[in-house]
Structures are given as structure tokens and as C-alpha cells.
Structure 1
């Protein structure tokens, strides 16, 4: 048949325009014959190209042919939606083969002579096949709907696809009246429009223009937005509708009409929607007391702190304007006592106290019952003030529990590595995990190298040649690349032992230069001397400094035994290893070990016999550099600038004559990169203050390292006096709201009777006064500690902090200071503290009635009531 041959040639040549002219000229019988052979042609194309994008390049011509010759609307709809006629990565524009519309224009042309009812039927079928806003069939479905004028089926992807197109000439779109109401109902519309930000272009501008010209009613758009909010959804789903609502800017009168809807949005709508509703409600006139109570209760139970703050502000302003509202404000304020922010709890408590007089008995009862949700110091104030006939301050309402049990200070570590196979496995999997594993591996490498060198080489050499055993990353033997991590040196020692190192003298070539923290340098010195001893075949039979306990200590008896083994082998211990071992000896004398060490004959034995733990006294001063400034120093009390807080430690210790020991127990004068920071306390387990002095700079300001409470917990379990440096470390961690475990560290130190509470308070006061720590965060941590049994310690901390925190007359004060003073007053009462604090007395005598002054006077009265006594 001539027609089929011509059509087949046009398809194979992909001449869609000529094909459309040809098929439109066919009569009914010829169309049926072509329709019968189209599947045959499709199979031929599949056999040639498979089902990939090569076949899809023929999509336009095949779609045009099928649309022209297939008889029923259902058959045409199925043909046009065949996946093998569309490119795999195609979007709504089709294959772009003809005019960039995937041939939709030609498809419409060959369908033009079909009956109107048939085309309306096809349009409906195409709509219901849409699955997403960017479905490739959306353009054709929309075009057929516009041509036929039929009402579109209710199908969400159609609406999403409609808004996924340019809204120019939207007012003339025949689909506008049908689809605009569905804009606020169809799922997926918000996600399509979520990134539309320019108010001068796109759908936002188009809809606002239609409202201004009267093409659509402005009230209908506002109502549509509010209906969409009430339907619910994520912040992303609703972002466009929030922007549209605000662009339409309902007046107070228009907002008042919708007040009940806005109230319904406050409890659970996404934050931006709730903020929008709050703004409109605050502008409304005529809200009833019940409306206000409903709004405040919803806002004050929200998780977003900004909404809670806004709700508290609205409540306070409303009650001040109309004191009769205090009664309905009581229940919302009581709900705010459960806020997850100490700042918000304090604000809610202050408002409850400020408006207590107008609340009535029912409101007072609601506040009184909820007071237990507050921190202890606020709970006491609120419960006492709302105690129904009981005078404020008549007695404590909180009985602090005893301190928790003292955790175990130390435990034994894993036994030594006994085989080359175990060494190889741990070298592969765990060499960088912790100081305990690294110490065990280094000791195992040295001991097994002397006991079974051939076995160690046989086990490690294949792993190292295959690149196994470096879980910390890539490093090289290139000159100029320093080995700054302990695990690099561990691998270097293994490579030297197995003859897989590419250069010799790594201990000389790769030691980092410049400013290293002394504990870090000691760690590298120990590892480097092992590499050197391997290269020079001078390894001792074992290492001395490998810890025996989880604190990092080496038991004195075990250290003596190790030296006995070294002497018996006629070897010499490594120098840095010996000095690290001395730093790890416990402070508690061991008479038996002392008797045995006296029998040692080596120089190292005599050093150990003469060793006494050096006493190191750390002093600490603070200075603040203005952040971003010229490097000068500024008074840390000046809160008008953003400061970088710098601790300036000083150390006093008698020299030991051992260079590495004296260097580590000296002053950490400059900031250094905190490598292996969590290991440092285990290197100085009998010198708590020295370890703390090294840690402190890395917990402060812009140089702050990512850390946990692990170093502070290690300090608590270490030996030696706890002074200013330890106190500053603990104070800084207590002021970090991301580290609630710092409270456990304080409690453990208190339970061990090793908490220098007054010194912690002095350091905490300086940190809060400088702005390094937020007062509200410190209050939350100390309140938690007081509730768990450390109330007497917290009192001493707060009392020692107040002289640094209380402002001079006319000076600025730290935010949240009233809450800190209230906590001091509460803990003073719990532990029966007495004794005047001069700074508190001076401030209590000032004129004024601020919340801070009221708390200061309450504290002063507490401390000076009755006979003076110790506090």
C-alpha cells in the first residue's frame, strides 16, 4: 500500500511535520490500515534500538502517527503515554524534536478534525494519567482542556503541572476559573512554587495583579491561603502561600473576620504560619478574653523559642493595658513553665510574679501547681509567692537529695597483646580509636619485635604493602610532610620494622616543627624514639610508660618490674618513655615498690628511686582581645565589645633535671593546634592542674576545639590538687548547653570532696562577665546540679561568682543576672548560709525596683537574717 510506504519513510526519516500533513489527508479506511501496522513498526524500531533514548528519538513522529490514525480516545491516550516513546531523562518539553514541545503542537493539529466530544474525552483521560507536576504529558493535556473548554477532572497533578508553567497572560487563561480554587487544595502545588522569591515576577506577582485588577476577588485569595494553612502541611508545602498571604496584607478588619481560623493555626502549624497568624491576631481589635487565653496557651506551649518569647511579650503588654486579663493569663503562664529554655522559664516566672495580684484564686492555684516544672530556684520563688496566705520566703519548698554515689575512679586496662596475629588485626582496625588502643599497640609492637620479630614481620608486611592498616587517612614519606598524629608514627615504626619504609631517619625528617602543645610533643617524641630504635636495632624488651589503669597511671610496682626486665636483658630504656612513665606514677607511695627499686643498679633505676612527684602550682589570669580588632587587650568587663577570652597561666615547679618532664610541667605560653586533646590528661594523670592548663585555651572563643565532657571527667578522676585551671575548665563546660554531662562531672567532683567550689565560682563569674558563657546557660546547669544534691556546692559557686558579675553603678550587666542571683538565694536558703557579701550589700542599698535589685535584696536579707554565721 502506497500510503503505508510513504508513512513508514517519513517515520524513519523523523519528518514529523510532513507526516502530520500526510496522515490528515488519509480517509477512514486508510487510517485503520495504518493503525493496524503501527505496532509492527514500533517492534521494528525496538529491534533496532532497544528501549533507550535512541528509540525515544522517534517518539514525536510515532506519537503524531498514532494520534492521527488510532480510533478510540482510550487507545490514543495509551499510545501518547507510552514510556518507550519518551526519552528517559525528558522533562515536560518532550524530546525537543519539533519546536521544543515534544510534538504537542503537531499532535493537536492531527486531532483538530476529531469531534469535540471525542477530544474532550481524550483530554480527561490524559489528565488522569498525569502523575507529577513535570509529567511530559501535562502540556498536551492543558492545551486540549483549553481548546475544548471542558471542566478539568479533579486531579492534583494537573494543578501542580498548571502552576509549573509561566503565568504570563494568566488572566486570559480559560482554565483560571476552574483551577484557581484548586490551587489551595491540590497536593504538590506548594512544592512547585516553594522557591519563588521575587515578588515582581512569577505566580506571586500574577495573582496579586489579578486581585488588584478585580479579575479575581482578593478575599477569595486570602481565604484560599487560610484554608490551605488549616489543611496542614510542612513549612516547604506552605511557604508560597505564606508569601502570598503576606503580599495580600489583610487589614485588621479582614483579619478580625478570620480570627477563629488564625487562632486554630497557633498550636501546631509550622513556624512561619504560626508567626503569620500571631501578627494578624495582635493587630485585631475585639478579641475576647477567651480568645486571648486560647492564643497565649497555644503560643506558650510551642517548641520554637521565638514564638514563646512573642507570646510572653503579647501577654505582658495585654495584661498591663487591661489588668483584668491577669486571671486568664495564669494558665498560659503556667504552661510556659515547661519551656525547654531557662531564659523562657525565668521570663514566665517573672510575669507570673508581676501579675500575681490580679489572677484570682483559681489562677493562683494553676500557677502554684505548675511551679514544680520550674528550676528549683524559680520554683521556690513562685511557690512561696503563690502559697495562699503563706508569706513569701517563709520556708523552703524543695528538699535537696544527697549527692549521688561516687563512680569508680579507675579500672584496669586490657591485657598486653600476646601474638603477631592480634597485633596485625588491631593495627588494621583500631590504631586511631583511643589513647588506650594506641598505647597497647605501641607496647605490643616493641615487645613482640623482641620476642618474635620474624612473626611480626610476616604478619604486618603484607598488610602494609597492600595499604591496609591506615584507617586515619593517607600520608606519605615526602620530605616536608610532617607526621603530626601519633598513629602516623605507629605505622612508621611498623614500616621500619618490616622494611617497607621508603626512607630512613623518619624520626628526624618528619617531626613537626613550630608551636606544639607540650603534651602533644611528648607523645610524638615517644613514638619517634621507637621508630629510631627500630632503625638502629636498639629496641628495649618492653616499654615502661604503658598505662595500667584507665586514668593513665602506671602502677609503681609494675614500673619497677619493667625496669627489672630491661636491666636483666642488659638493655637501656628509651628516654622519653622513661620520663612519660615518671609522669604517670601515682602520688600514693608504694613501700614494697620503693624497697625493690632500691636494688636496681642502672642510671634509670636510680632516677626512679629518687623520684618524688613534683608539686606544680598553676596560677591563672584572664585577658580579652577584641575580636576582629588590632590584637590589643581590653578589660574583660567591657561588654560593649565582642571579646576573645584568653587565659594566661603561670606555673611554679622545682626543676627535675629531666628535660621533657620540665617542659610539660612548665607554662603553656601559646595557643597550639589541639591534636589528641582527649589524650592529654592520661599523660599527666597525677598533675590535674597542669593538664587542665593545657586544655583550657581550646575550650574558649574562636579557637575552641570540638570537645565533649570526656577531658573534664578525666580531670576529675586524675590525681593532684584541683585549682584555678581545673575550675575554669569545669566552669566553661558547665556553661555550654550542648554538654549537659558537665553537671555529672561537677557532681562526681563534689561527691569525691575534690570540688574547689569557690574557685569554680570565681572562674565562672569571669567567664559570664566577659560574655564567653551565657548566664542563663550557667544557671540551668547549676540549678540541675543543686537539684541533684550539690546545693551547698552551688551556693559556694554562686557566692564566689557574684563579685565579678554584679555591675558597678550605671554599668551594664550580663543578661539573666537576676536569675543567677535568685539561684544563689535559693541555694543559700537550702543550706542555711549566713554571712554578708560586701558587693551584695552595696548593690542592695541602691535605689530602684528592678527585678535584679529585688533579688539582690532578697539574697542580702537571707544572708543577714538572725545571728551572723559562717556561710
Structure 2
């Protein structure tokens, strides 16, 4: 600040101040305000509300231009308003300081104009500003902290202030005048933990600064350790305590530092959040070497803590607290501590009785076995009272362990074995097919179907197509009038496209041609796509295109052959023969694509009567129908992941977004081009507008229909799927062999938690005896191995299926998936694999499966006692048990 400041004459001061405010010259305004005398300041203060009202009238209150006046208005008010309360209110008016305006950038200027205020006045303002803050990053926090540092007063007790202090930079923390005032409150104020939750670098931030101060002696280590303990004892969420856990562990208290506070650490074990209880266990166990024996006669618990040890009572309290916890990790830690201590000091056997009795009620078989193992190992060192405690808890154990404990402790009530679970039978499968609603019978009905549902489902499309052909042949003018587009310019723009890849475009063209409004003719020569279109879509487009051609050439047949009679897409053989008889009687040839689609829709079950009638047909189409036999193409599936070859080892891979499925079909050549394309033309992903309709084009060829869907099964677009339960159900109700493609389709939708109705599809297929369970198991394994399906979701779906009667099928699925999923020696298992194996074991028990699986046998022989290995051994024991021996029965 320049020393040569000229006092502004009283008569001119307001105009000059106003100009500086309106020009937003904050630095010059500060100089002028400092130079004002007392009377002049009063005059400026009196005019400020009027100016603020004028500025507010110029701009919307949320306009950035008004917010940009905040600095000069705040500085002017801080310099001229009289009372501390008035200044505090002025500084944070909503008019020019909304919350979204960002942090204050005028703290130095405000401090400059406040410098000549009396110390008591500034202390009053500082306290008022502190108490106005509501969150750690409040707009007034920086100024409040700066005033506290300038005035040197004791900060008022306000948790938000401490959180705001912690929210600032800890650089030069040792020189901060607030350190001695606020550091003790750092461990008490609510909100500090959330502010510091991401501070985790021991050489930076608050964690590093506090450690440096402790190393330099500026802050006592004892104060920080005790502060952390006090904070832990106050309680809080794991997020609230995260920073203090890091600080405590970075301080790494020695056993001598812990010993004086052993009682506080013990108090943390029963209910503190897991990370806090975990560090307490760690520190208390470090005292164990000093507690090798029971106290000498006449020495109490307090004396033991004073000498750095823990008494037997302390240890018993610690173990019981840990074994009461819900977290298995802590229960396991408590049992491990207990086992190690009693091995080192057998005289502690009586102290472990009550904690072990608590562990008998654990919800983990592994923990119960550990507890029984320790109890059996030290039964000889227990007195009668301790043995009685164990006997009373025997009933908490499962029958097998209960019998062992009761035998060793001379009594105890052994729990009855739980009755074996008997899954219900499979629910009966619903009817495979129902009748399809007939086509519209009038132009008006045809128009209603077009506006309501035409083209959105395959059923509506087939009815629409059949109705259009029949009605247009009888009443072309009526159909043209009913379906005439309201805006021909909008309807005809589609003729400018490179090709028509949607079926409704071709029907729209047929309507325009029927009404004489089509801008072009013979578009089937140019607009029918020839590449990058999936075979089922190409068949649909050919059918629609030949109808447009027939309209233009006046060759519409009286009816279509391929219109389904059933909601599976089938055309009854007798009805197809009848339709051909109608065409022969009218002397009309059937449309080529329509006839080939009709052949693909014939049921696999022979109809002798229809066959006899077909033999009497005289047309070329009739002769083809009479000689028709259902082709049986061979379908194969190949998985590829990234650049690797097929079926390679994915045990060490996570989710690979380059997974590809390549289905192939071979054989079944008929000489009919579209039929052969459908039965042998499965391609990798191409443009597919009508995926949901595909199963209805191949109702007698289930595996081929699934193969056409396979490249799209893994596609996800946002939260939507190209292939879902509706397509799976349609394929399931089709006829024909079921192999890898159908198994993949079922497995993928079953493992999707957003498709719960997929379970009903699986149960229906299982009830019909058509489930390719072994092949489905292999596909389940591959889906899980590539990360395309989450283990937890697949386990949940399969368990639900098993409990609804499909337990035998679920076992077959699991048995085929395990060789794919069980990791080779030395590799980590996938997350959730233990749950999958547990489900497999349960399903095997429910259906009485027997027969060794090599991969299960090899893994069961490995060393270890993890939950996964326990379930693998349980499965192996059941599969290799002698007939008639129940699981869990002693050999």
C-alpha cells in the first residue's frame, strides 16, 4: 500500500466511491476506503443500500454481472458499516454471494479495510463469521480463519470451523496460530473425518504434516495417539474414521505406548467399525508376548496393564468381544489369537471356554470347526466350570461337530440333523403353441392394425401382410384409400435411400404403388440390399419386395402361403396344402420367397392326410411340397476372445470386451436359394433390423434359429439387449434338435439379472425334457470365464431353478461348467466360485448324483482350508460316497 494517500474531501467522497464500485476497481477502491475519515465512512455506509438496490434492478439476481460486483460491494461495506453484526450480514448477502459463486477471492482486501478497527470489534466480527458457517467449504470460512489468526482470540467451539480448518492446506502447519487451539478439537469435531477421508499420503497433506510435527516435537506423539483413540471411542462410520485409522497406523504405536491405553483398545473390540477393531486387535496382540502367563498371586488386571501385559480376564474379554462380531474376518482373527495364546500358555484354557462357546454359534462352518478344534485340544486343561460352559453350547453346533464335542466334554445336547431338503417336482409345461389371430377382414380393420401395432411385432406384421395381399386383390381402391399416407412428401423421401432394410419400407412402397402415388417403379431392382444383412432379415425383405413387385405388375395372389397358423410361427401342413389348392384352382403361381418361408414353417410331425392331398397337387410348388422332408443342418459354435484362438485358457482373464461368437451351419441343401441361405448362411454380426422376429421364421429348426441369434446374444446397447427372454422363449417353443447355440441363448439370458422371466423359460424347457443341460453347462462356464455373466447372478438364477424342481438339470449344468471354471494349480479362483461349487454340491445331493469328476478330485486334494476348497471337498465326498451313505455321516 502506498504511503502517500490523499484524503478525499467530504463533498466528493461518495461520487468517487460510487465510480470505483461501478467500475469494479477493487484495488483502488480499497485505497480510497482506507483513506476515508469517520464521517465520510458513515455517509458511504448510508448510500450503499441504495446503490445495491439500483444494481439489483439492472440484473437478474443469478446474472454473473451482478455477482461480479460482489468484491467491491463487500469491501465497501466492510470498510464503512459500523457494527460487527452489520458487517457480517453485509459480507454474505445472497444478492451478490450465492453459494455457486465460488470461494471468496477478496479476503486480503477485506482484511486491509478492517485493519484499523479496534481489536475487540474484529474479535467480535471473527466470532460472528465463525458461527455463521454451516459447512466446511462455506464462503465465509477463509475470512473467518484469517480473522482468527489476526486477532489471536480463542476460536469459539464450532465443529464446522474445525472441519473448515482441516479443509485448508496444511503447509506451514507448525507456524499456524490456530494449531494449538484446534488440533485437540480435530479429534472431536464432527465432519473432520469426511473432509480428510481421501488424505492418505504419509509424506503429504494433513497426514504427512501431523507426522512431521510429531517427529519434530512440535506436537506430542502421545497427544495424537490419544486423540485417535478418543475419536474411535466417540464412534462414527468407517468414512468418518478412515483418516484417523491411517494416522494411528502411520504413528505405529509401540507396545509401550499401547500398554497404558490397553483398556481403551479393549473397549473398541465389541462394536467399533471393522477397520478400527482390526487395528485394536493388531495392537493388543502385540502385547501378548508380555502376557505369557497368568498374573502372579495378588496381581490384578490393572497391575498387568501397568507393566505392559494383559490379564487372563482381559484376554477372555477381548476374545469374546471379537467372537460376537458379525464380520467373519474379525471372528477368524479372534479365534486365531485365542488359539495361538492358549497354545503358548496352556494355563489359559479356562479363559477360552466362554469365547469358544460363543464361537459355536458362528454362521460359518469353518469357524465352528476351528472353535471345536481348539476346544478339543485343550479340554484336559479346563476345570469343571469351564467344561460346563462348553457343554451348554454344544447344541449350537451342527450334529457332526456336536457329537464330537459332546463326547470329549462328557455331555451336551446334540442338535437334531436338519431334514434333507426335498425339491418340488418341475411344474408342467404350458401348451407349446396357440392359434394366431386371423388377418384383418376389411380395409378399415387393416388401417387400424397399421396405425396401432403394424410392424412392431412379427405377429402383427404377418397379419398385416396377409391382410394387405388378400384385400388388395379384392378391393384395391378401398385398401389404397384406407392406407393412403397423409403426407406423400414425407412418405416418398425413403425412395432417396441407398437401400430398404426395413420390412415396413417395402409395404409402404406397395401402398404408394397401389394408390398410384409411388415416385419410382421397379425399385426392387435397386433397393433390395445384397450385403451385410442377416439371412432371416433378407428373407423378410424378399417377401416384402416380391409383394411390391406383384402390386406393380398386377400379379398379387389371392392369399399368402407363409402366414402362420400358430403363435410359434408354424404353418399347419393341412392349411398349407389348402392354400396351394386355392392357388392352383385360380391358376396363380405362389410368390417364391413366400413359398420358401412356408416350407420352413412346416411342423416336423408328419400329417399323413395332408401328405396324401399334397401328392395330388399338379403345380411345381405342389410337387416340391409333396416331396418335402425337413433338412437337418449341423450347427457348431466357436468362442474367440481377443486375438487368441478358440477355446483357449481364460482362467487368468477378466472381462474381455473382444469376445466373439462364431456359429456355423452345414448341410441340409435343398436347391431352394432362400431356404439354403437360412439353413446354412449364419454370419457374424451384420445389420439386423428384425432380430425379435427371427425365431418365427424357423419354428421347426430350433438350433438354426438360435445360431442366427448367437452373434447378437452378447450385444448390449446402454441397458437394452438385442436378444432377451422373449426370443429365448420363442426358440424354446420351436421344434428340432437343441445344441450349443440354444444352450448359449438360455445361459446368457438366465444369467442376466434384468431378465428374471428367463427362469420360467428354463423351467418350461426342462419340463418338456428338451434342455441340453450338459451343453448349457459348458456355455455357462465360458460365459463366466469371459466375464460376460457375473457369477453371483448365475448362481442366484440356477439356485432358484433348482429349488423349483430343476435340481437334476442344474446339477448337469454345474457338472459341465466346473471343468471350465475350476482354476489350475497356482491360479486364483474367480470371485464367487465358492458359491457356484456350493450350489453344485447341493444340487448333487438333492438329485442323488454320483460319479467322480477329475477336476473336482484334483482340486479337493490341494492343501488349504478356504471356503472354496471346503465346498469342493464336500462335492467330491458326495460324488464318491458309497450308495446309501448320507452326506455328513461319519465313516
Q: TM-score range by the shorter chain?
A: 0.7 to 0.9
Partner of 1:400: 423
User: Once structures 1 and 2 are overlaid, which stretch shifts more, 27-36 or 420-429?
Assistant: 420-429
Quote the Cα distance in structure 2 between the aligned partners of 1:386 and 1:784: 35
Distance 1:384 1:650, change over 3 A: farther
Total equivalences in the alignment: 808
Give the aligned partner of residue 753 of structure 1. Answer: 769
Q: 1:790 to 1:688 in 2, by over 3 A?
A: same
- Does residue 691 of the first structure (1) align with residue 694 of the second (2)? no
Mark the runs of 5 or more structure 1 residues left unpaired by the alignment. Answer: 94-100, 301-307, 338-344, 370-380, 468-474, 867-871
CA gap of 1:566–1:185, structure 2 versus 1, over 3 A, is farther
Counterpart-to-counterpart distance in 2, 1:728 and 1:383: 45
TM-score by length of 2: 0.72
Distance (whole Å) between structure 2 residues aligned to residue 57 and residue 70 of structure 1: 21
- Cα deviation for residue 63 of structure 1 reads 2.7
Q: Deviations over 1:780-804 (max 9, x none)?
A: 6655444332344456666778899
8 Å Cα contact 1:843-1:856 kept in structure 2: no
Measure the CA separation in 1 of the matches of 2:861 and 2:20. Answer: 99
Higher relative contact order (CA 8 A, sep 6+): 1
Matches within 5 A, 1:617-696: 618=634, 620=636, 627-629=642-644, 631=645, 651-653=666-668, 655-666=669-680, 668=682, 676-696=690-710
Which residue pairs with 1:584 in the alignment? 601
Alpha-carbon separation, structure 2, partners of 1:244 and 1:499: 84
SS of 1:862's equivalent in the other structure is coil
Residues 1:278 and 2:278 are matched in the alignment? yes
Deviation at 1:119, TM superposition (A): 1.9
> What's 2:291 paired with?
none
Q: Is the 8 A contact 1:406 1:748 kept in 2?
A: yes
Report how far residue 125 of structure 1 moved: 2.1
User: What is the aligned partner in structure 1 of residue 42 from structure 2?
Assistant: 32
After superposition, the CA RMSD in angstroms is 5.6
**Stretch moving more, 248-257 or 7-16:** 248-257
The answer to whether the Cα contact below 8 Å between 1:483 and 1:511 also exists between their aligned partners in 2 is yes
The Cα offsets for residues 792-845 of structure 1, whole Å up to 9 and x where unpaired, read as 44566667788999999x9999889998888777666655668x7797999899
Work out whether residues 833 and 863 of structure 1, in 8 Å CA contact, stay in contact via their aligned partners in 2: no
CA contact (8 A) 1:639 1:771 kept: no
The 2-side partners of 1:682 and 1:382 are apart by: 57
Residues 540 and 571 in structure 1, CA contact (< 8 A), matched pair in contact too:
yes
Q: 1:860 aligns with which of 872, 877, 880?
A: 880
Q: Give the distance between the partners of 1:313 and 1:638, measured in 2 at CA.
A: 32
1:90 deviates by: 2.8
Match of 1:714 among 692, 713, 730: 730
Taking structure 1 as reference, are residues 691 and 81 closer, same or farther at Cα in structure 2, changes over 3 Å only? Answer: same
8 Å contact 1:420–1:459 — kept in the other structure? no
List runs of 5+ in structure 2 lacking aligned partners: 1-10, 289-313, 344-348, 380-389, 887-891
Which has the higher Rg, Structure 1 or Structure 2?
A: 2
The answer on 1:574 being equivalent to 2:575 is no
Q: 1:462-473 residue pairs with structure 2 within 5 A? A: 464=490
- CA distance in structure 1 between the partners assigned to 2:119 and 2:574 by the alignment: 102
Bigger Cα displacement from structure 2, 5-14 vs 777-786: 777-786
SS of equivalent residue, structure 2 residue 95: helix
**Contact 1:419 1:448 survives alignment (8 Å):** yes
Q: Distance in 1 between matches of 2:861 and 2:135?
A: 70
Shift of 1:577: 2.7
Q: CA deviation at 1:79?
A: 1.9
Per-residue Cα deviation, 1:745-771 (whole angstroms, up to 9, x for no partner): 343223223345566567778989999
Write the mapping of 1:346-385 to structure 2, written as runs, cut at 5 A.
365-368=395-398
Does the Cα contact within 8 Å between 1:184 and 1:225 map onto a contact in 2? yes
Normalised by the size of structure 1, how large is the TM-score?
0.73
Between 200-209 and 756-765, report the one with greater CA deviation. 756-765
Q: Which residue of 2 aligns with 1:303?
A: none
Alignment of 1:275-674 (within 5 A): 275=275, 277-278=277-278, 281-282=281-282, 284-285=284-285, 288=315, 291-292=318-319, 294-295=321-322, 298-300=325-327, 310=329, 314=333, 321=340, 336=363, 365-368=395-398, 397-412=420-435, 416=439, 434-439=457-462, 451=475, 452-459=478-485, 461=487, 464=490, 477-479=496-498, 507=524, 509=526, 517-530=534-547, 540=557, 543-556=560-573, 559=576, 572-589=589-606, 603-612=620-629, 614-616=630-632, 618=634, 620=636, 627-629=642-644, 631=645, 651-653=666-668, 655-666=669-680, 668=682
Distance of aligned partners of 1:859 and 1:548 in 2 relative to their CA distance in 1, 3 Å threshold? same
Which position in structure 1 is the counterpart of 2:292?
none
Q: Structure 1 pair 731/145, CA: closer, same or farther in 2 (3 Å)? A: closer
Query: Does the CA contact (< 8 Å) of 2:635 and 2:707 recur in 1?
Result: no
Alignment match, 1:139: 142
Q: Residues 364 and 141 of structure 1: is their aligned pair in 2 closer, same or farther, counting only changes over 3 Å?
A: same
* Residue number in structure 2 paired with 1:92: 103
Q: Taking structure 1 as reference, are residues 863 and 220 closer, same or farther at Cα in structure 2, changes over 3 Å only?
A: same
What's the CA shift string for 1:2-46, capped at 9, x where partnerless?
443444444444444444444445444443333333323333444
In 2, Cα distance between the equivalents of 1:658 and 1:367?
71
Rate the CA distance shift 1:710–1:76 in 2: closer, same or farther, 3 A.
same
- Asked whether the equivalents of residues 480 and 514 of structure 2 are also in contact (C-alpha less than 8 Å), the reply is no
SS of 1:216's partner is: coil
Residue 787 (1) aligns with residue 799 (2) = no
Contact 1:560 1:593 in 2 (8 A): yes
The CA deviation at 1:362 is 5.5
Give 3-state SS (helix, strand or coil) of 1:41's partner.
helix
Paired residues of 1:160 and 1:187 also in contact (CA < 8 A): yes
- Say which is worse superposed, 80-89 or 792-801, in terms of deviation: 792-801
Give the distance between the partners of 1:805 and 1:30, measured in 2 at CA: 85
Q: Which of 448-457 and 55-64 deviates more?
A: 448-457
Q: How does 1:162-241 map to 2 (within 5 A)?
A: 162-184=165-187, 186=189, 189=192, 192-193=195-196, 200-221=203-224, 240=243
Query: Which range is displaced more, 145-154 or 494-503?
Result: 494-503
Matches of 2:495 and 2:224, distance apart in 1: 66
- Residue matched to 1:96: none
* 1:398 to partner: Cα distance: 2.4
1:62 partnered with 2:73: yes
- Going from structure 1 to structure 2, the CA distance change for 1:720 and 1:856 (only over 3 Å counts) comes to same
Distance 2:58 2:790 in 1: 72
Structure 2 distance, partners of 1:128, 1:803, is: 66
1:808-827, aligned counterparts within 5 Å? none
The aligned runs of 1:73-88 (5 Å cut-off) are 73-86=84-97
Say which SS state the counterpart of residue 84 (structure 1) adopts: coil
SS in structure 1 of the partner of residue 52 of structure 2: helix
In 2, the alpha carbon distance for the partners of 1:856 and 1:619 equals: 34
Alpha carbons of structure 1 residues 134 and 700: separation in structure 2 relative to 1, 3 Å:
closer
CA distance in 2, matches of 1:384, 1:420: 82
SS at match of 1:665: helix
Report how far residue 552 of structure 1 moved: 2.7
Indicate the residue corresponding to 1:152 in structure 2: 155
State the Cα distance separating 1:172 from its structure 2 match.
1.8
Q: What is the CA–CA distance in structure 1 between the aligned matches of 2:319 and 2:504, rounded to whole Å?
A: 63
Distance 1:837 1:39, change over 3 A: closer
For the structure 1 residues 807 and 132, does the alpha-carbon distance in structure 2 shift closer, same or farther, using more than 3 Å as the test?
Answer: closer
Alignment match, 2:51: 41
Against the structure 1 CA distance between its residues 418 and 327, is the aligned structure 2 distance closer, same or farther, given a 3 Å change threshold? farther
Secondary structure of the equivalent of 2:700?
Answer: coil
1:71 pairs, out of 79, 82, 94, with: 82
Q: Partner of 1:869 in structure 2?
A: none
